Amino acid sequence: MSGVVGSRFEGTIRSLGSKGFGVCDHPGGGVFFVPGTWPGDAGLFEITDCDKRYGHARLVELVRPSPHRLDPACPHHGFEKGLCGGCPWMFVSYEAQLREKERQVRYQLDRAGFSSTSTAIRSVMGSRAVFGYRNRAQFKTDGRTIGYVSPVTRTLVPVSDCPVLDGPTRALFHQLKGELPADAWLPGEGFAWNYLDIDSDTTLDALSLNRRRPFRQGNEAQNRIMKAWLKDRLHAEDRSVAIMELFAGSGNFTEEIAAMGFSQVCVSEVAGNAVLPLAERGLPGVTVVAADLFKPRTWADLAAVMPSPEILVMDPPRAGFSGLPRFLRMFPSIRTIFYISCDLPHFIRDVAQARKKGFSLTDLQPLDLFPHTPHVEVLGVLQKR
C-alpha cells in the first residue's frame, strides 16, 4: 500500500464503509477509511495507520464539502482528541443518514446473495425524534470528570451536555455532574475510569457504580414501533399456537405477546437481573426458562417445557445466534421466525444459515434506532418453504 504514517494526500470520499467511515482512494494506490467524512467530501488527509490491505486517515482540511454537510448540534462532536465522537454522523442531514443506512442494508444483502430489489425489503423507517430520543447511556468517570470514551482516541472526554438524551436521562446526567468531585467514583489501581449505567427510570440514590442496568431498547418511540410490527404480524395467528421466544430480556416483546392472548408462550433468557423479574411478573400463558442459549445443552430445558414450538421470536445480542441451524434441527416444528437484530452482518449470517434449513426471508423492515450513528436495526420474518 502507498503512503506512510504521517504523510498527506489529496482525495475525494467515494463511499462509506460498514463502520460508517468515509472511503478514500490514495493517489498512489490503496484505500483509507476516514472518520468524520461523507461521500463527496474532497480534502487533504493525513495517514494515521496502514497495513498491506487498507489504512486509516484523518481529515486535515476540507477543500470541497459534501452538499449534505451541516453544522453539528453538539459542541462535543468531532473526532480529534478531546472530542466525543459518539454521534459520528451528526455533521450530515438526517435524510442523507437514512439513505446511507438503506444503501448499507441493500448492499450487504446483495453481497450475501439476497435480492435487495425484492418487495420483501422495505425502506428504512426513520426516527421521528433525532434529538432527545435516547433513554439510556453509559457514562465514564474518574471521580473528577464525567463523560464518554471517544471511539476514535479511546480517551475519556468530559461533556457538559448530551442533546440526544431524553428528558429524564439528560436531567440525571446533570445531577451526576453536580456530584463532582466524587471520591467514591475514583477508579482503582490500574483502571482509568469507572462507569455509570443510567436510563430514564434511574434515580440518583439508586445508582450503582460499575453495574449494568437491565437491557432496554434505547429509543422508546422506535421501540413502540418495533412492538407494533411484531403484533401486526402475529395478529392472524391462532391464540393457541406454541410460541418460543429467545433472548427475551426483561420481557419487552413478551408482554406484547401475552397481551394478545396467546396461551402457550415459552420464553428464555440467561439467569440474572432480567429473567427473575420477568418470571415474577406472572404474565398469563408465559413460562420463563433460565438458560444460556449459547450452550446447546441448555436447550433441553426448553424442549421439556415446549417440545414443538411453531413460531420462534428472537432478539439476540450483537453477536447474533450462530447456533440457529442446530436449534432448528432440534425443533423441526418451527415454521415461522421473527428475528429482531441490532447487527446487520450477523443477522445476514444467521438468515443465510436458516435458508439452508428451508427458510425464506419474506419480510425485512430496517429501522433507525439511533440517529446520527451508522447503527441500523432490522426486523425480519422467515417462513419455512
Q: Tell me if 310 is assigned to a ligand binding site.
A: no
Give the chain's domains with CATH numbers: 8-64 (2.40.50.140), 136-206 (no CATH), 220-384 (3.40.50.150)
DSSP 91: T
Model pLDDT for residues 40-83, shown as the tens digit of each residue: 999 999 999 998 789 999 999 999 999 999 999 999 999 999 99
Does the annotation list 315 as a binding residue?
A: yes
- Is residue 269 a known part of a binding site? yes
Strand residue runs (E) in 30-184: 31-34, 42-50, 54-64, 136-141, 146-149, 156-158
Model confidence, pTM: 0.93
- Strands of the sheet containing 242-246, edge to edge, are 286-290, 264-269, 242-246, 311-314, 336-341, 377-384, 359-367
Distance CA 385, CA 377 (A): 25
Residue 224 CB contacts under 8 Å (≥ 6 apart), including other chains: none
The three cell numbers of residue 335 are 415454521
**CA–CA dist 85, 152 (Å, integer):** 7
Question: Is there a contact between 46 and 60 (Cβ–Cβ < 8 Å)?
Answer: yes
Active-site residue identified among 24, 74, 266, 342: 342
- All three cell numbers of 80, joined, read 480529534
Q: What is the pLDDT of residue 84?
A: 94
- 185 near 209, Cβ under 8 Å? yes
In the sheet with 156-158, reading across from the earlier edge strand, the strands are 156-158, 146-149, 136-141, 194-199
- Model pLDDT, residue 94: 99
Q: Give the pLDDT of residue 279.
A: 87
Q: What is the pLDDT of residue 273?
A: 63
Question: Coil, strand or helix: which one is 354?
Answer: helix
Beta carbons of 41 and 70 less than 8 angstroms apart = no
Q: How far apart are CA 115 and CA 125, in angstroms?
A: 19
The pLDDT of residue 187 is: 96
Torsion of CA 14, 16, 17, 21, to 10 degrees: 110
CA dihedral 198, 201, 205, 209 (to 10 degrees): -20
* Residue 283 β-bridge partners: none
pLDDT for 369 equals 98
Q: In this structure, how many other beta carbons lie within 10 angstroms of the beta carbon of residue 257? A: 24
Place of cell 489529496: 10
- CA distances 258 to 202, 231, 237, 263, 266, Å, are 26, 11, 13, 8, 11
Q: Which residues of 38-62 are buried (b: 16+ CB within 10 A; e: fewer)?
A: bbbbbbebbbbebeeeebbbbbeee
Is residue 247 part of an annotated ligand binding site? yes
How far, CA to CA in Å, does 317 sit from each of 13, 293, 297, 306, 340? 32, 11, 20, 23, 10
**Regions of the chain where pLDDT drops below 50:** none
Residues paired with residue 139 on neighbouring β-strands, in sequence order: 196
Matching residue, cell 429467545? 246
Give residue-wise pLDDT tens across range 217-269: 999 999 999 999 999 999 999 999 999 999 998 899 999 999 999 999 999 98
| 55 and 32 Cβ atoms separated by less than 8 Å | yes
Helix (H) or strand (E) holding 337: strand 336-341
Q: Is 24 annotated as catalytic?
A: no
For residue 18, the model assigns a pLDDT of 87
Q: Are 2 and 30 in contact (CB under 8 A)?
A: yes
Q: b/e for 228-256, b at 16 or more Cβ within 10 A?
A: ebbeebbeeeeeebbbbbbbbbbbbbbbb
